[in-house]
Amino acid sequence: MSPSNSNVRKLYAGMHDGVCALFQSGEKNGWSQGPVTPLPHAASRFSWSRANPRRAYLAAYESGVYRTDDGGNTWRNLLSYPTDYAHSVLADPSDADSIYVGSEPADVLRSHDGGETWETCPAFRAVPESDQWSFHSETRYSHVRDLRAAPYDPDLLYAGIEVGGVIRSVDGGSTWEQCTGPDPDIHFVNPSASCPGRVYLATARGPYRSDDGGKTWEILDKGLERTYTVHISSADDDPDLVLVTVSRNAGRSLPQFYRSEDGGKKWDLIEQVGSSDDMVVAIDWDPEEPSRVYAGTDSGKVFYSDDRGRNWAQVTLDLGTLAVGALVVAPVG
């Protein structure tokens, strides 16, 4: 598909109680919705397979891992997954059957047969700092809230732990090391697609940036009225163009949505989306059209921008559910 001759788009949308595919064809308001697969617990993260564009994986918090093999029409719960908790998921870009899942207590599990059998990454829990990982609740444990690979190097992995900081692997998960410096309450990790070494973090204290692959970090809270950061995402073709969503606290009160064109040194408030207690909780840039970006909100709405996040319009669909908590732009074919 080429952006010069087609306006067709597909989004995977994971809600509080279901998962489906959204399609746009032709006119900007020509949206349709595919079948909804019910979920017993909220969607957390998607990862679609570059090796098989009709396959994608979904982490669904307390209901495990799901897989689609037909482009999002149907989703199957991978019952062999050994725990209920699945906070994040990462598909190997070169092998449709190889995936990593971030679990609870904080650990990384992997499968090499599409999720039929699983193994842990033993070196992950062997990180010396692992005895310091914790969580705010006495009934829950630290967990791998986000799991990402550097787009330019599939063996360079980042795991964001809530609460425990950033853990990095340079060899596809065989060994791991703790990154030091940022706030340890990690919510999202965003390695830049166009600037090797650039990594953004969303944390409870504020957004952070590293320009050396996680060795050193700079907090980017200057100009933000609130700093509890849920999501951060840089444009695929411009590492300095960044969107961030913040609120006053973990209850997501008084949310705000900001945009920066200089790598987070200066932030401009976006007033059309992400305020009035309807927080933006998911963001994804269109890999086929760099100027387009999508955002999902707590109230179940999806918005898009065709001018790199300056102006926004709502996708004309009523999903009839709460919280678009996971969102990713996927191949149509």
**Per-residue pLDDT tens for 294-319?**
999 998 999 999 999 999 999 988 77
Question: How much is the mean pLDDT over the chain?
Answer: 93
Kindly tell me if the per-residue pLDDT of 6 is higher than 60: no
Tally of domains in the chain: 1
Establish if 3 belongs to a structural domain: no
CATH number at residue 185: 2.130.10.10
- Cα–Cα distance, 53 to 324 (Å, whole number): 22
**Residue 206: inside a domain:** yes
Taking Cα atoms as reference points, which of 129, 168, 124, 126 lies closest to residue 149? 168
Residue 326 banded pLDDT, cuts 50, 70, 90: very high
Per-residue pLDDT at 33 exceeds 80: yes
- Does residue 187 contact residue 231 with C-beta atoms inside 8 Å? yes
| Range of the structural domain that residue 206 is part of | 9-330
pLDDT in tens, 179-225: 999 999 999 999 999 999 999 999 999 999 999 999 999 999 999 99
Res 3 pLDDT > 50 = no
Q: What are phi and psi of 129, to 5 degrees?
A: -80, 0
Tell me, yes or no, whether 2 lies in a domain.
no
The per-residue pLDDT for range 247-299, each reduced to its tens digit, is 999 988 999 999 999 999 999 999 999 988 899 999 999 998 999 999 999 98
pLDDT at 87 over 60: yes
Tell me if 325 is assigned to some domain: yes
Count of beta carbons in the 10 Å neighbourhood of residue 207: 30
Is the residue at 247 inside a domain?
Answer: yes
More confident residue, 21 or 319: 21
Whether 225 is covered by a domain: the verdict is yes
Q: Which residues contact 183 (CB under 8 A, 6 or more apart)?
A: 203, 204, 205, 206, 208, 219
In a domain, 310, yes or no: yes
Asked if pLDDT for residue 1 goes beyond 60, the answer is: no
Q: What three-state secondary structure class fits 124?
A: helix
pLDDT at 141: 94
The per-residue pLDDT for range 109-168, each reduced to its tens digit, is 999 999 999 999 999 999 999 999 999 888 889 999 999 999 999 999 999 999 999 999
